[in-house]
Amino acid sequence: MKNHRIYGMILRYMYYFKHSFDRISDTFYWPTLDLVMWGLTSVYAKSFMPQGSQIILVILSGIIFWIIIWRGQYEITVNLLEELWNRNLVNIFSSPLKFSEWVVSFIIVGVIKAIISFTFAVFMAFLLYKIKVFELGFYVIPFIISLLLTGWCVGFFVAGIILRFGSKLQTLAWSFVWVLGPFSAIYYPVSLLPEWAQIVSSALPTSYIFEGLREVIYSGRLDYSKLMMSFALNSVYLIFSLAFLKASFAKVLEKGLVKVY
Amino acid sequence: MDVLQVKNLTKKFGTFVAVDGISLDLREGEILGLLGPNGAGKTTTIQMMLGVLTPTSGMIRYFDKNFADHKEEILEQINFSSAYTNLPWRLTVRENLTYMSYLYDIADRKARLQKMIEIFRLKEILNLEIHALSAGEKTRVNLAKALLNFPKILLLDEPTASLDPEAAKFIREFLLSERNKFNLSVVFTSHNMPEVEEVCDRVIFINKGKIISDDTPQNLAKTIDISHVELNVADGLKRTIEFCRKQNMKYRLRGRNIVVDIKENKIPDFLKQLMNKGVNYEEISIEKPTLEDYFLQIAAVKSKK
């Protein structure tokens, strides 16, 4: 891998970010809207609850931490779509750029954007509701890393599908990750789900992450088994999703990169 | 010395054979035209040479190295430009060239970018986004991109398509000067036959995925023995038309002029017969067969089949 090529692709996506109002609004508009709407709802709900309820923190931390998965996958899939819409795959892959370097550039851009969106959301949560997410302690950092990994898994999987079938399935870039939402126990415990949904939930790293985060909020204690389980599942999914993306790319090369859009 | 060798290259899409076992070579400093009717397999061949399409079978070698095994090293030394691919349209010219420059191992990127900006007269449009450029400007940016890495081989897929004559002339002159200065080798596809005759040292004709001829433009044109005789007829146009019809000669009218397609050795006899019929013409011009005639003949054979 050559750093200058990875840097070149990061530049390419950051230039696009600078010029695209859609992408700037994605980074700031939706997190703000979610925080305002769900924050106010949870403030209202808290008025019916006993003193010391953590409902606001639970809801807002759910929103803020979900941003990490969403951005992680979104940057991979939307940057891929950007190449398809521009028919730019031929330009970049007729250069010495390697597939692995391209993937690494997606990951780095995803991390940068996730940090921007996460920091912005943390700041807004403090500004609007005086909620300090990092008061939860540095326990949250391993969960953040695990969430990023989940975002990449989803991103690589969806990117593989889009590469194979083209931009006619582009809606998956925005919608697919939300399918995981109900099973991820973002705002409620897994035990609240029906039995069949709990089985699905047990196969998702996100359910362990959000359950673990809630435990930190309520007891200040980190459940290592949940954290390890999320990492283990993420490692397996990461290997499969990357292999799927690589296979999709090889399949597309048989058709020709010119014909993918 | 051959800088590119292609052996038995084949590409099948399902049962359709787009490229059917073609073999060709490109010499150092040579400009090779790859011609053929639409759908002949030219672009498919170029895509395989660029590594953006996997061949079904066959071998591509650059600089005596197998392309499949030395892709990264080889792609550092070649580049391409096509009228049919886009650069990211929301990025400015400067941004496009900057990020592309990082995809290559260029010693002094800033100096090279500056040089490209000067050569292709891009200073005025540097901060414009690609979608705001004219076709000619986009082609200049594409060519600047293609020259960024000091390529030893350039693959150009119809680089002058949809350009005005001045822009097309600039590109032809630029290619010839780069070849003369740096011994650049070029594979060039175009539908503009006079342009190919002007630029290419050698031409390969492809039809239905197969090479049907490989020679200099002049030699290929010579294989056609039909010349075009154009007469400005002062008196006897109807008689001339009648005579051509009877003799089964192909002709077309241009006002008072008639253009007759005729074998070169039959021209004296044709003119004598017209004189005998009392046809008076004020001007005569005889056009020798060109590469275009050769191309049209191939296209005609294709459509008959």
Confidence at residue B304, expressed as pLDDT on a 0 to 100 scale = 58
Stretch A114-122: mean pLDDT, rounded? 87
Most B CBs within 10 Å, among A16, A90, A248, to test the B interface: A90
A-contacting residues of B 26-55, CB under 8 Å?
43-44, 47, 50-54
Q: What percent of chain B has pLDDT over 70?
A: 98
Host domain of residue A9: 3-259
Rounded to an integer, the average pLDDT of A43-53 is 78
Strand B31-35 relative to strand B185-189: parallel, antiparallel, unpaired? parallel
For residue A188, which of A29, A26, A45 has the smallest C-alpha distance? Answer: A45
pLDDT score, position B1: 83
C-beta atoms of B79 and A2 within 8 A? no
Q: Any chain B CB within 8 A of the CB of A254?
A: yes
Question: pLDDT grade, residue A134 (50/70/90)?
Answer: confident
Of the two residues A39 and B113, the one the predictor is more confident about is B113
Chain B residues in contact with A7 (beta carbon < 8 A):
102
Q: Left if phi > 0, otherwise alpha if psi is -120 to 50, otherwise beta: which for B206?
A: beta
Q: Tell me, what's the pLDDT at A201?
A: 95
**Residue B111: both structure tokens together:** 């100096």
Side chain identity at A248, as an amino acid letter?
S
pLDDT in tens, A183-223: 998 988 999 999 999 999 999 999 999 999 888 888 878 88
Chain A positions touching B105 (Cβ under 8 A) are 2, 4, 96
pLDDT at B113: 95
Mapped onto helix, strand or coil, the DSSP state of residue A20 is coil
Rounded distance between C-alpha atoms, residue A207 and residue A201, angstroms? 6
Query: Rounded distance, CA B24 to CA B199, Å?
Result: 19
Give the DSSP H or E segment for B62. Answer: strand B57-62
Specify the pLDDT at position B60: 97
Q: From the CA of B299, how many Å to the nearest CA of chain A?
A: 25
Binding-face residues of B in 77-116 toward A, CB within 8 A? 79-80, 82, 84-92, 95, 98-105
For B225-288, CATH gives: 3.30.70.100
The arithmetic mean of pLDDT across residues A7-34, rounded, is 88
Written in H, E and C, the secondary structure of A214-238 is: HHHHHHCCCCHHHHHHHHHHHHHHH
Q: Residue A82: list chain B partners with CB under 8 A.
A: 88
**CA B46/CA B190 separation, integer angstroms:** 13
Q: Per residue in B240-261, pLDDT tens?
A: 999 999 989 999 998 879 999 9
B112/B118 Cα distance (integer angstroms): 10
Contact criterion met (CB < 8 Å) for A256 and B72: no
Please answer yes or no on whether A2 and B99 come within 8 Å at the CB atom: no
pTM: 0.85
Say yes or no to pLDDT of B305 above 60.
no
Instruction: State whether residue B150 sits within 8 Å of chain A by CB.
Output: no
CB–CB contact A94 B79 (8 Å) = yes
Residue A105 has pLDDT above 90, yes or no: yes
pLDDT of residue B302: 58
Lowest-confidence region among A164-178, A223-237, B41-55:
A164-178
Does the pLDDT at position B32 exceed 70? yes
Percent of chain A's residues with pLDDT above 90: 47
Structure confidence at residue B128 as a pLDDT band (50, 70, 90): very high
- B62 pLDDT exceeds 80? yes
Q: Name the residue among B62, B127, B269, B50 with its Cα closest to residue A95.
A: B50
Residues B132 and B156 sit within 8 Å (Cβ to Cβ): no
Mutate to test the interface with A, among B78, B103, B189 (most CBs of A within 10 A): B103
Q: Where are the domains of chain B?
A: 2-221, 225-288
For the segment B283-304, the average pLDDT, to the nearest whole number, is: 76
Distance CA B2, CA A71 (A): 49
- Total domains, chain A: 1
Residues of A in contact with B86 (CB under 8 A): 86-88
- Residue B303 — very low, low, confident or very high, per pLDDT cuts 50/70/90? low
What value does the mean pLDDT of chain B take? 90
Pairwise CA distance, residues A251 & A159, whole Å: 13
CA A105/CA A118 separation, integer angstroms:
20
SS3 content of chain A, % helix, strand, coil (to 5): 85, 0, 15
Q: What is the pLDDT at residue A216?
A: 84
Q: Select B2-221's CATH number: 3.30.470.10, 3.30.70.100, 3.40.630.40, 3.40.50.300.
A: 3.40.50.300
What does the pLDDT read at residue A99?
94
Q: Which residues of A touch B95 (CB under 8 A)?
A: 11-12, 15
Please give the pLDDT value at position A206: 95
Q: Report the pLDDT value the prediction gives residue B7, as an integer from 0 to 100.
A: 96
Contact at CB, B100 and A95, closer than 8 angstroms: yes
Residue A24 has pLDDT above 90, yes or no: no
Global ipTM: 0.86
pLDDT of residue A46: 80
**Chains A and B: how many Cβ contacts under 8 Å?**
101
- In tens, the pLDDT along B159-208 reads 887 778 888 888 888 889 989 999 999 999 988 888 888 899 999 999 88
Contact A92 B87 (CB under 8 A): no
pLDDT band at A57 (very low <50, low <70, confident <90, very high): confident
